[in-house]
Amino acid sequence: MIQIKCDIEKIKGVFTDALERQIPFALSLAINNLAKDVIGAGDTSIGQNFVVRKAWVQDAFWMSSVSDKHQDPIKATISMKKDHALLNKFEEGGSKAARSYDEPIAIPTAAIRPGFAGSVPLELYPKNLRLMPRRTASGTLGAKGRVMRNGMAQLQGNLRTFVIDPATMPGASKWGVWQRFGPGKHDIRRIWTYKKSIPIPRRLHFAETAQRTAEALWERRFEEAWTRAVETAR
């Protein structure tokens, strides 16, 4: 959340009484227009800092409170839209941990997403493959699995997929989902890599974008607003 505000008392006294009465109106108008600039710059920066697969992602900010000339201080507030809350974590950065061992963080491999900007088919997601618990309207649908000849349990899902887990399979070194695509013993490919946690980079930079935009455009927006305020006062 970003606030743009101005202390009106600091600029009073240099105008006549008639013009002084127009200062709050001009400030309110300028702040609202500047807030729109900040929103536009923030939405644009998303496309510059992320690979955007869906256009709606770049409509992330809104003016959650509009400035009013009767406020003290006069201010406008810019917030992240609720359905874009997933972007908040990229402002400060940090890390993301898996919900549980049964629901690790799944990262698609190049086998199902050749390019980073591409999308993975929904039917290949681990939950849709029945390799992770899946919550439904009637309850939780558990993962599918079986006990192999050597006595070890293994998750085996739809579309000839299965999980290799070093924690339960001696000799295995890579944790993830494999898919069999042919009749041969080695006709398998890894389609998901599993992780217990992943780093979250600090990539959004909305606070810096807002500050930079406000500093660059404030003078212009106030001059435009003041011109209109003077015209209104005539």
Q: Give the pLDDT score at 165.
A: 92
Lateral strand order in the sheet of 2-6: 2-6, 74-80, 61-65
First to last CA, the chain: 38
pLDDT at position 4: 75
pLDDT digit string, tens, across residues 23-69: 899 999 999 999 999 999 999 999 999 988 889 999 999 999 999 99
- pLDDT for the residue 19: 66
Q: What would the two tokens of residue 74 be?
A: 């006069």
Alpha-carbon separation of residue 119 from 112, 122, 125, 128, 211 (angstroms): 9, 9, 11, 15, 34
pLDDT of residue 16: 56
pLDDT, one tens digit per residue, over 7-22 is 666 655 555 555 677 8
- pLDDT single digits (tens) 84-114: 999 999 999 999 999 998 899 999 999 999 8
Q: How many CB atoms lie within 10 A of CB 203?
A: 15
Report yes or no: 179 and 160 within 8 Å, Cβ to Cβ. yes
Q: What value does the mean pLDDT take over residues 181-210?
A: 94
CA atoms within 13 A on the CB side of 27: 25
For 202-217, write each residue's pLDDT tens digit.
Answer: 999 999 999 999 999 9
Q: CA-to-CA distance for 219 and 232, rounded, in angstroms?
A: 20
Q: What confidence tens digit (pLDDT) does each residue in 73-92 have?
A: 999 999 999 999 999 999 99
φ/ψ of 28, rounded to 5, equals -60, -45
Could you give the CA distance from residue 226 to residue 15 in angstroms, rounded to a whole number?
Answer: 12
149 vs 99, which has greater pLDDT? 99
pTM, entire model:
0.76
Per domain, the residue ranges of the chain are 2-93+201-233, 96-199
